[in-house]
Structure 1
Amino acid sequence: MNGFVVASRNGELGIGAAIEVLRRGGSALDAVEAGTRLVEASEADTSVGRGGLPNVLGEVELDASIMDGSTRAAGAVGAVRDYQHAITLARRVMEDLPHVTLAGPGAERFAAALGMDRTTLLTPASRELWRTHMVERLGGDAEAVRSLLALPDRADDEPAAVAGHVRRMLDPNRNTGTVNFIARDQDGHIASAVSTSGWEWKHPGRLGDTPLIGAGNYADDRYGAATCTGHGEVTTRCGTARSVVLYLKLGMSLVDSLTEAALDTETLDDPQSGGIEILAVDRDGGYAAVITGADRAEQDATFVHQSTDMAEFAVLPRRLISAEAPPKPR
């Protein structure tokens, strides 16, 4: 059985490393972690790891989760500062603790106890993007700008001071980024991994769907796996990743399972429901990906796939799913 990896488009940075793990006989779990780590380390991607876009205070907070489809064991971390490889920390939660999820200072305490390297996640480039966006969104409100510039040094003393700025800073029309990996190894086992710096300019401590098992990530060898990108508030409310796998369990095809889960997100009365991306595989080795929103063109969203017998990865289009524009007949 040939192993394979599928990933969100930004996963092309790490898909080669993931495939090499499988070629050496490694597990799907090792493969998705290896691929994700490379994206987390790249400053070129401002939605994941080091160089990720920060929260409203200019602080980068990372979320990640990993799931082993052979056992349905899972680990997740949220709102982690100062540790670049959130995916590895999530795996250690899964393997070393009787918990599934750690967040904030508790997750950072665990990382320190493991001896993980602390690092500055906010790069000069991402800090400049934060400053520029802040000035653009807050406009002539000089006092608000000065307040946010000062708050990173005194946020603990003024815990409510940023709440009024969050809605002004957030851009509800901007689709957020995340990296997704799903792998199947030579033994037929499936694993999935998701990592992100979350919705840029968010309130400190905000968690999206990435660290919530069943919302942004779910894997089960018996049926398949699914991962999500987009506004996590939407997929959290719909339990999107688990829904895809549940539809597979009920006997629906992979494309129909993705379509049903995607359309469910569009039933929410929420301006953020467009642009949800779902990546999935089934137990037979099928793979597919979709994006929601009638205003999205299929060529605007792609994903990558590579099997162990392929020299290079392939870039494939996502299907467009919309209540206003039904999917094309298969």
Structure 2
Amino acid sequence: MIAISNNEGASGIGATAHKLLGGAGALDAIEAGVRLVEADESVRTVGRGGWPNLLGEVELDASVMDGSTLRTGSIGALSGYLHPISIARQVLERLPHELLVGEGARRFAAEIGAEAGDLLMPHARTAWARWFAEEVDEAQRAAWPDVPMAELCKQAIDPEIGRDTTVFLAQDMAGNIGAGTSTSGWGWKYPGRLGDSPIIGAGSYADTRYGACACTGVGEMSIRAGTSRAVVLYMKMGMSVEEAVHEAVADMRSLKGGLIGRVTIHAIDTAGGHKVVAVNGLPENHYWLWREGEAEPASHPAEIIAVSEDAAPKPTAHRRYERMGL
């Protein structure tokens, strides 16, 4: 058994480990842990502690994936509900669909009796009001919200360093692997923006036969590179979890233009191995890890890799595939 979460998962990873020890399935353990992070108002990038969009509204994204069935459930641009991870889980359990967004997501949340609540906490309300007063000109304020917002989005700066989320990966007692994500997304984002968290294959992917991966940081990069699915696919092709993550980093070096920034890739394999790499990361980048036999989850530093064209090694996948006859 193994459970892993990013730095934002501190308040939930212990619950996930406890659930796994008690015989819970991977998704049940992940959901329990993520719910605690969503409820932790000190976490500025997840749940009700998160930052709002340009309109001053908190929009939440979440996803789950069952690695044994390859079924998924995702929620995007959801407002007014406290635990998007549980709503995403119910998409998986109750619907023939994989992803709901916006008004449809809210309708579904109400239909299943999900817990509603105010998401805009005082710290975020104050920060947004200060931004609105200082960065939006008088004419725009007078016409608000019926103003063009594309330039405001480009000029907006996160009120705190980082565009993060929380991600949980787990393998349960029976060997089943799952993944879960939850986020409030990029602060001051354009309304309706989806990052990688609700996009299966970009922000997360799980396959009990090979392993799982989930990403935090600038989701636009993970979407463009299909990072989480790529890592699992590289493991399927015979790479170790470490090699697979490094190959996914090499993929990111091909991205040109757009929003390029920090991404942390978290991955586990079926044998209890793991790898966490922070692309363009900061020294404080860390993650939480628990393995069977350990008393409590522990914090570990992520490997820091700078993505620059000058330092970029050539991808190794094609050579490995040639040796495999693929």
Same fold (TM over 0.5): yes
Any conservation in 1 of the 2:213–2:266 contact (CA below 8 Å)? yes
Q: Which amino acid aligns with 2:94?
A: D
Corresponding residue of 1:88: 86
The one-letter amino acid of 1:93's match is: V
Figure out how many residues of one structure are paired with residues of the other and give that number.
311
- Counterpart of 2:48 in 1: which secondary structure? coil
How far, CA to CA, are the matches of 1:185 and 1:273 in structure 2? 35
Deviations 1:219-242 (A, max 9, x none): 001110000111111110110100
Task: Give the Å deviation of 1:137.
Answer: 4.0
Give distance in 2, aligned partners of 1:162 and 1:52: 21
Indicate the residue corresponding to 1:155 in structure 2: none
Correspondence 1:1-330 to 2 at 5 A = 3-138=1-136, 141-145=137-141, 147-148=143-144, 151=145, 158=146, 161-170=148-157, 174-270=161-257, 272-293=259-280, 296-297=281-282, 299-324=283-308
Q: Distance in 2 between matches of 1:257 and 1:133?
A: 41
Secondary structure, counterpart of 1:187 in structure 2: coil
- Gapped regions of structure 1 (runs ≥ 5): 152-157
Query: Structure 1 residues 136, 276: closer, same or farther in 2, change over 3 A?
Result: farther
* Counterpart residue type for residue 186 of structure 1: M
1:15-37 C-alpha deviation (Å, 9 max, x unpaired): 11111111111001101111000
Which range is displaced more, 308-317 or 93-102?
308-317
CA distance in 1, matches of 2:198, 2:24: 25
CA contact (8 A) 2:66 2:72 kept: yes
Maintained 8 Å contact 2:83/2:115: no
SS in 2 for 1:50: helix
C-alpha displacement at 1:317, in angstroms?
Answer: 1.1
Residue 112 of structure 1 aligns to a residue whose secondary structure is: helix
C-alpha distance in 2, partners of 1:269/1:171?
22
Q: Which moved more, 1:194-203 or 1:129-138?
A: 129-138
Indicate the SS of the match to 1:14. Answer: helix
On the 8 A contact 2:3/2:17 being kept in 1, the answer is yes
Paired with 2:166 and 2:97, the residues of 1 have a C-alpha distance of 23
**TM-fit CA distance, 1:125:** 1.1
In the TM superposition, what is the alpha-carbon distance from 1:266 to its structure 2 partner?
Answer: 2.5
Contact between 1:302 and 1:316, CA under 8 Å: does it hold in 2?
yes
